Structure 1
Amino acid sequence: MLDFLFDYAALRVIWWVLLGVLLIGFAVTDGFDMGVGALLPFVAGTDTERRVAINTVGPVWEGNQVWFILGGGAIFAAWPALYALSFSGFYLAMFLVLASLILRPVAFKYRSKRPEARWRRNWDMALVVGGAVPALIFGVAVGNTLQGVPFHFTDDLRPIYEGTLLGLLNPLALYCGLASLAMIAMHGAAWLALKAEGPVAERASRLGARLALATAALFAGGGLLVALGLFGGYEVVGTQALDGPSNPLLKAVATAPRAWLGNYGAHPWLVVVPALGIAGALLAALGFRARREGATFLASALGIAGIVATVGVSMFPVILPSSTSPAQSLTVFDASSSESTLRTMLIATVIFLPIVLAYTSWVYTVLWGKVGEDEITGSGSTAY
């Protein structure tokens, strides 16, 4: 069994799964932080209500953002070619994401330093930007990935990216961005319904039910677009050495309409993954209406897991297709680090990831409880 787990091909698949886990962890944890920020003008009318919403995420947002760093680090260490192409090709988009995320800690720290309404409104808008823009851009990135990214390799494996920022903002990618924004906003509403009290929670529940339905509809609509072949698709043709060298020039990939549905035809049980995305969002909508806060948040998280996992399951083994040179697309089996690197990283992950999860669980347990106006306005309050 251990020999199998440490086989090169198996290590590549394991790290593909772990990358998916890290991305889902980021979307579920930091997702509700961003969702709360994006919803701030819609769920809070007064300064006190806005402080209630902000303080539901204030104590935990920094820890949640670690998942983003872990995901980027995993791509850098386990999939260097993917890191080089995605972070350089999407450089301007990533710059917008990072600039937006940088606004969040500054806004958290500075909005309550002065009492002027204009000062606080400006920092509140920074929180909105810091929540909505990353959610939108991440979805746009996924939409472009599904369509293929314009890149190729030279004979010495030097990657060349040929796209532009405006090229990323195409209709199909913007559709995915809108779906991502709806999903993250739904999750933020579920968190506010769970953690806030009073008018903020009530407004979040009403808005969250609509956002959950929108998420389900947009995700299902995306599946229809894939079925119609509008997103295209890429598939490995012939055979590929699963334990061969990490060289994207040693295999063949062809474009094919509806190729992203191929894995579901070969393994029908995989349909449970997108079904979970739709079912989670619909159950969240029911939970919002029934005021079942805990069940609603869990359903929202399951929906996010299903939606994010659907992208990986649909594309496997391709992880970054090339629209200009399909044969040079990156796959799970030709874009990874060396066998020894993957093995060493896996051992470190097995040791340290449970510690991170245990500490995170302890933090949430200690900080559990609802946030109401009394905690914000009470004497000696240290709220944001």
Structure 2
Amino acid sequence: MANEIRVPTLGESVTEATIGRWFKKVGDAVKADEPLVELETDKVTIEVPAPTDGTLSEILVEAGETVGVGALLGSLGEATAAAKKPEPAKTAAPAAPAKAAEPAKVAEPAKTSAPVPPPSPAAARVIAETGVAVESGSGKRGQVLKEDAVAAAQTATPSAPAAPAAPAAPRPPVAAADAGREERVRMTKLRQTIARRLKEAQNTAAMLTTFNEVDMTGVMALRASYKDLFEKKHGVKLGFMGFFVKAVVQALKEIPAVNAEIDGDEMVFKNYYHIGVAVGTDKGLVVPVVRDADQLSIAGIEKKIGEYGKRARDGLLRIEEMQGGTFTISNGGVYGSLMSTPILNAPQSGILGMHKIQERPMVVGGKIEIRPMMYLALSYDHRVVDGKEAVTFLVRVKENLEEPQRLVLDL
């Protein structure tokens, strides 16, 4: 009997995925747990392994198509089993089992399509805010997406006619001489989600950025003194992120609004510190979360970030490892950025941008000295965080880094 290849459970709030690529062709032999197909979701890219040894007998969904959880992607057959199964006169026609199986496989999606999935979380939020009911949408199996809810709300209100002006203007025609020099590449699910979430953050939050600069002399001297001993004992290099996470946690404890978020007409203050660390990959930006960072040592933080970074680059991060963050740190300095205004990672109310360490002349004690300086940028949601709180938070981070002994003494 053929073994079915189906879309696995993708994680909380993830109901569909896009086929990225098939690693095998029909007729290829595969081994159990060998990757067969790559699925792109709006949070992470995952690989679907072969359930058993066998041969890839058919591919039902091609690259670029969108599928729901549990959808049939293809099947595996075994050469030995294939000879035994069609005992009743079907042995002479191997094609017959495949054709006989096809109606069942075509009927399979009909079962999954019968119940309409609940609205997506973003759509449910719009429906709750506007009170406009939407029976079916443009998503897979009729799921209501945010665009459907927004369109329904706009149709139900007098101001709806003004809304169509919001979409971007159509792309102007390309000169004939340039037409052949362009390449169109379909956006991955992850890239589409990154674009949508960043734009939603700008549209929803009252976002503002405040800046400061930190003298990294103390942290760099500490690293230089103990980096070899630290790596020998803990098996991981002593970087800057451990210091920054610790400095941020202490500042969050003093200014809890920066660790809060808005839920409807309520503010949720969180007495735990799950710090997201933005990691760039070849498929886009992902933000794994260091949970309970206040309970970890600098060594523990560095180990966790190192592990996340490697797995992010290999595409092995799990969805649950990127959920539940309360504050985010983004280090554009590793790419040479001197200053930037990071965009909030909704629904969080704050994100800290680190930048390139650059030697600059500074006045210290009435004298000009060359110091390793770094600009810090805190983007925050002004609906939650007042300007005074934002500036105070950034000053505390600066103080903790310029006097790293404060991190050890919990001052």
Structure with bigger helix share is 1
Question: TM-score over 0.5 for the alignment?
Answer: no
Higher-RCO chain (CA-CA 8 Å, sequence separation at least 6): 1
Band the TM-score falls in, shorter-chain normalisation: under 0.3
- Structure 2-normalised TM-score? 0.25
Normalised TM-score (structure 1): 0.27
Identify, as 1 or 2, the structure richer in strand: 2
